[in-house]
């Protein structure tokens, strides 16, 4: 295909060329990958660089970068090698002569160790910079060690929301080594945020009045921020809540199960500090979500089916789609098994690799099952359909938004229809409300836990 960049894409490409260490905070669907590859091609042609390392989420590393290079005629001269698989396969890939080496973020620590912290690349592209937002993570520590050895660094992510600015410090450090937001995350937090503590553990950080602008101004010289609504005319995205109602027997069983689990939880975890409590709460909510979805794992990870109401509602939606392909986001492995069995007669596949992506976009799959944690970022799936069903939303707002953007993005020709299957009277409703209210995962879990404890206190 012949690439005809939009003006905003030309701006993004020039930004990369003009700024050796830069961030592209571009909303979903604005074409970060092709803009970056085009700028990389220009820098190679100008003899500015010769070897580029791309660090990306695993599924994006497997497909997106190589697919984009093959898709556009002006990029056909770029040789892209995937540094994935076993250690032997990764070493063989690195030994090849290429322009762009793409690896998964989970292999990055290994890669830095292999080269003793001195990366043999002229440029480093960090795809989904938010993957490095935790200053305590091993991948961030590896980045901190290795970034000084690279001449150019390009950080790619979506535009940061105000409640995501607390995570910006580590991401910016990957680009400028603390030049703009300081060398210490604690100093950054102290300077720009009001912290809220419980038992001396920070549970929430709010931006101080006026500090959002200060932070953005500090990074403005190297970070280009663009929002899709300002540049794209996308079709509408229409969201429907598809309520699922349990039978009286199943609802009674859920209420009993919920009460038992909450009382067990308070007996076992009531004295835990808040940061530990949130993790424990996640386990409780998972159990309740499994019940709402229709099956529960026992201690041996064997799934036991309880009801099929969500399966029936999903089957109705698939039938009503009248031959249109549907992307279904699931939460648990037993969801996949049960959905596949329920939709017998349809071409149902679980997303695993590049071949699944190709077949989806070619219209060869009726129902594609995907987990938002592995498909939320970077995959171009808009050619394959415009219907999305969330078998369970989960609690992660970022996953929810990014996953919907696999279809609701540039190149989509139809309004995107999103169905959220919510089991009435269950934890589903609280998870969906947390996403609608744009709350963080930890705070949402703690709020829901407090609600349930209050609900059953004294009963």
The 3-state DSSP class for residue 231 equals helix
Name the average pLDDT for the chain. 89
| Six token digits for residue 216 | 């953005």
**Lowest-confidence pick of 84-88, 147-151, 434-438:** 434-438
- The pLDDT score that the predictor gives to residue 278 is 64
- pLDDT band (50, 70, 90) for residue 363: very high
What DSSP designation does 344 have? B
- The pLDDT score that the predictor gives to residue 38 is 97
Q: How far apart are CA 23 and CA 224, in angstroms?
A: 6
Q: How far apart are CA 219 and CA 169, in angstroms?
A: 11
Q: What is the pLDDT of residues 177-188, one digit of tens each?
A: 999 999 999 899
SS (H, E, C) 182-230: CCCHHHHHHHHEEEEEECCEEEEEEECCCHHHHHHHHHCCCEEEECHHH
- Order the strands of the 100-104 sheet from edge to edge: 80-83, 100-104, 52-56, 123-127, 152-157, 21-26, 223-226
Helices (runs of H) and strands (runs of E) counted in the chain: 19, 17
Beta carbons of 416 and 281 less than 8 angstroms apart: no
pTM of the model: 0.65
Q: What residue ranges define each of the domains in the chain, with the CATH number in brackets?
A: 7-231 (3.40.50.10810), 237-456 (3.40.50.300)
- The pLDDT score that the predictor gives to residue 128 is 85
Asked whether residue 22 carries a pLDDT value surpassing 80, the answer given is: yes
- The pLDDT score that the predictor gives to residue 202 is 66
Beta carbons of 395 and 445 less than 8 angstroms apart: yes
- pLDDT band (50, 70, 90) for residue 331: very high
């Amino acid at each position: 295909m012949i690439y005809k960049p939009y003006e905003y894409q030309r701006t993004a490409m020039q930004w990369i060329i003009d700024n050796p260490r830069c961030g592209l905070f571009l909303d979903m669907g604005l074409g970060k990958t092709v803009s970056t590859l085009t700028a990389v091609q220009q820098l190679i042609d100008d003899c500015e660089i010769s070897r580029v390392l791309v660090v990306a989420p695993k599924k994006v590393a497997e497909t997106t970068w190589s697919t984009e290079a093959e898709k556009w005629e002006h990029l056909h001269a770029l040789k892209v090698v995937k540094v994935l698989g076993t250690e032997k396969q990764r070493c063989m890939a690195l030994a090849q002569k290429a322009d762009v080496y793409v690896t998964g973020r989970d292999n990055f620590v290994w890669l830095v160790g292999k080269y003793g912290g001195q990366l043999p690349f002229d440029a480093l592209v960090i795809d989904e910079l938010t993957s490095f937002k935790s200053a305590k993570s091993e991948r961030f520590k590896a980045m901190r060690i290795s970034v000084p050895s690279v001449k150019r660094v390009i950080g790619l992510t979506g535009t940061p929301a105000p409640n995501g600015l607390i995570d910006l410090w580590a991401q910016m450090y990957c680009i400028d080594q603390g030049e703009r937001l300081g060398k210490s995350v604690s100093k950054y937090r102290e300077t720009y945020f009001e912290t809220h503590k419980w038992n001396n553990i920070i549970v929430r950080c709010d931006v101080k009045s006026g500090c959002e602008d200060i932070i953005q101004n500090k990074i403005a010289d190297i970070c280009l921020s663009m929002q899709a609504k300002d540049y794209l005319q996308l079709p509408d995205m229409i969201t429907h809540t598809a309520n699922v109602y349990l039978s009286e027997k199943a609802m009674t069983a859920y209420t009993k199960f919920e009460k038992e689990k909450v009382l067990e939880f308070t007996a076992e975890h009531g004295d835990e500090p808040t940061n530990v409590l949130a993790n424990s709460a996640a386990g409780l909510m998972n159990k309740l979500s499994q019940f709402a979805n229709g099956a529960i794992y026992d201690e041996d990870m064997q799934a036991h089916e309880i009801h099929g109401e969500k399966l029936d509602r999903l089957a109705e939606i698939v039938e009503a789609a009248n031959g249109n392909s549907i992307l279904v986001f699931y939460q648990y492995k037993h969801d996949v098994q049960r959905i596949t069995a329920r939709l017998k007669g349809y071409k149902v596949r679980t997303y695993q690799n590049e071949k699944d992506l190709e077949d989806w976009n070619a219209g060869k799959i009726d129902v594609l099952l995907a987990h938002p944690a592995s498909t939320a970022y970077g995959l171009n799936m808009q050619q394959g359909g415009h219907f999305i069903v969330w078998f369970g939303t989960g609690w992660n707002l970022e996953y929810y938004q990014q996953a919907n953007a696999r279809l609701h993005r540039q190149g989509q020709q139809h309004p995107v229809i999103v169905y959220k299957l919510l089991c009435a009277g269950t934890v589903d409703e609280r998870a969906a409300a947390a996403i609608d209210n744009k709350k963080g995962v930890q705070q949402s879990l703690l709020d829901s836990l407090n609600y349930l404890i209050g609900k059953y206190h004294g009963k």
